[in-house]
Amino acid sequence: MNISKKAENLIKEYAVCNYCLGRQFSNLGTGTTNYERGSTIKSYLTMEISQSKSDDNINILQQLSRSSSKMAKSLLLKWGITPEDTVICPICENKLKNINELTEIILAKFDDYELNTFLIGTILPKEWFERERKLKEGFDLLQTEYLKQEFNRLIGKEICKQKTLDTDFKNPEIIAEINPLTLTVNPRIASLYIFGRYNKYIRTIPQTRWPCYSCKGKGCEKCKFTGKQYQESVEELIGFETIKTAMSEKVVLHGSGREDIDALMLGSGRPFVLEVVKPRIRTIDLKELERKSNAYTEGKVRVSGYRWSSKKELVYLKMHAQHAVKRYRALIKFDQNISQVHLKKIESFFRDRKIEQRTPMRVKHRRADLIREKMVYSIRCILKKEDEMEVVISCDGGCYVKELISGDDGRTLPNISSIAENVGFCKELDVLEIEERIYKEI
């Protein structure tokens, strides 16, 4: 079936606007717009009809008149027939006429952010999609795009005309979700990701914000209405300058594992990806940020190795956290005196030794109670006092070191206390190193 026949069949039933008619043939011919296509087809149909004043042709002309064709209206007048009034387009409900208004709303929102790339995402009711699908099926319209795509394309083009921005289909810095029915725009800003490593030099702060035990974060007298159990965290300390610089809403620290609140993080530091949520500024000098951040957190936390990262790398980091070998320093106090014989026994026993750890009592409330197998690769011991020794332990990530020392009432087996035939507990714990081997840049 040729184009004019298909268009005629369509017009007979639906008095569609120029956009919606042209869109049904949008893959045919380039260098024009759907609006122009629709208008041309309507003019062509009118010209064909003008050759014979049949009842059928008058009906088609009235439909064209209802779909606002000026040419059809004047032909009807010439034939002495009153043309019918223009109706609202049954497909787009004339919302495509709101393109400029929507563009203005979007641009006003974009003004709040430093941007290079964007994408438009049009949200339309399901029924709209359905009725257009039926239309395409019913009239065998294959060379076509959908209304949603037309919105995206037209607004995208208009924005590029007015601003030096590029469309990016894969990783746009902003997605403007538009609803043409309500004339609302919801800007979704892509997060920034920064890779770095942190050291922690004090034994009183958790890695991330810790909700108050009493009020679960709502704010109460006990937490002085901060909602926090600890007033500071590594995340908040590192985030302070970042939030200021990027003018972001907040930051989320995604660490490659976490140390206990009372454990130091030494050596080259723990790898992390800092997610900067809803940044207004995206051009950031990371070296400068690192310097500023370290000045602010001095004596507590230090960051290093800042570089740009990605969501993909963040996922990778979280996935492989437990595979990284970690090195700890611990100070152990025993109930009874210990000797060099015990030290040697511990060192030779824990050589590539598999241990089984049932979820420790102290974390049972927030982690599933199950048994995890972990490897202890080596333990080096130095006697400090008659009943105290320092150990350097190499083991799998996710190994509970305090429980490896105490045994946690038999929940960790074997353990240092059982091999020493003594009861030991961890007085101090530091993370010395998190192995790089597994870690690679993406």
Nearest-approach distance from CB 10 to Zn ion, in angstroms: 12
Interface of this chain with Zn ion, residues 91 to 130, rule: CB under 5 A: 91-92
- Report residue 29: phi and psi, to 5°: 75, 140
Considering the complex, state which of residue 212 and residue 393 has its C-beta at the smaller distance from Zn ion: 212
Nearest-approach distance from CB 328 to Zn ion, in angstroms: 32
The one among 33, 98, 179, 214 contacting Zn ion by CB under 5 A: 214
Q: Is 20 in the site for Zn ion (CB under 5 A)?
A: yes
Q: How far is CA 39 from CA 43, 94, 373, 376, 436, in A?
A: 6, 15, 72, 77, 65
Considering the complex, state which of residue 151 and residue 350 has its C-beta at the smaller distance from Zn ion: 151
Q: Is 220 in the site for Zn ion (CB under 5 A)?
A: yes
Nearest-approach distance from CB 65 to Zn ion, in angstroms: 16
Nearest-approach distance from CB 147 to Zn ion, in angstroms: 8
Considering the complex, state which of residue 92 and residue 338 has its C-beta at the smaller distance from Zn ion: 92
**Which of these ranges, 37-45, 112-120, 213-221, 341-349, lies near Zn ion under the rule CB under 5 A?**
213-221
Q: Is 223 in the site for Zn ion (CB under 5 A)?
A: yes
Considering the complex, state which of residue 217 and residue 414 has its C-beta at the smaller distance from Zn ion: 217
Cα separation of 110 and 311, whole Å?
Answer: 23
Considering the complex, state which of residue 212 and residue 395 has its C-beta at the smaller distance from Zn ion: 212
Look at phi and psi of residue 197 and say left if phi exceeds 0, alpha if psi is from -120 to 50, else beta.
beta
369 in active site = no
Considering the complex, state which of residue 176 and residue 223 has its C-beta at the smaller distance from Zn ion: 223
For Zn ion (CB under 5 A), the number of binding residues is 12
**Which of these ranges, 127-135, 212-220, 243-251, 389-397, lies near Zn ion under the rule CB under 5 A?**
212-220
* Selection from 95, 239, 288 nearest residue 179 by Cα: 95
Nearest-approach distance from CB 315 to Zn ion, in angstroms: 33
The one among 3, 87, 215, 383 contacting Zn ion by CB under 5 A: 215
* Selection from 51, 189, 26 nearest residue 114 by Cα: 189
Take residue 274 and report the two structure tokens written for it. Answer: 């800092």
Interface of this chain with Zn ion, residues 54 to 93, rule: CB under 5 A: 89, 91-92
Cα separation of 168 and 172, whole Å?
Answer: 5
Nearest-approach distance from CB 42 to Zn ion, in angstroms: 13
Catalytic member of 85, 111, 168, 260 = 260
The one among 41, 212, 264, 330 contacting Zn ion by CB under 5 A: 212
CA geometry: angle 118, 121, 122, nearest 5 deg: 145
**Which of these ranges, 15-23, 160-168, 191-199, 244-252, lies near Zn ion under the rule CB under 5 A?**
15-23
Q: Catalytic residue numbers?
A: 260
Interface residues toward Zn ion, by CB under 5 A: 17, 19-20, 89, 91-92, 212, 214-215, 220, 222-223
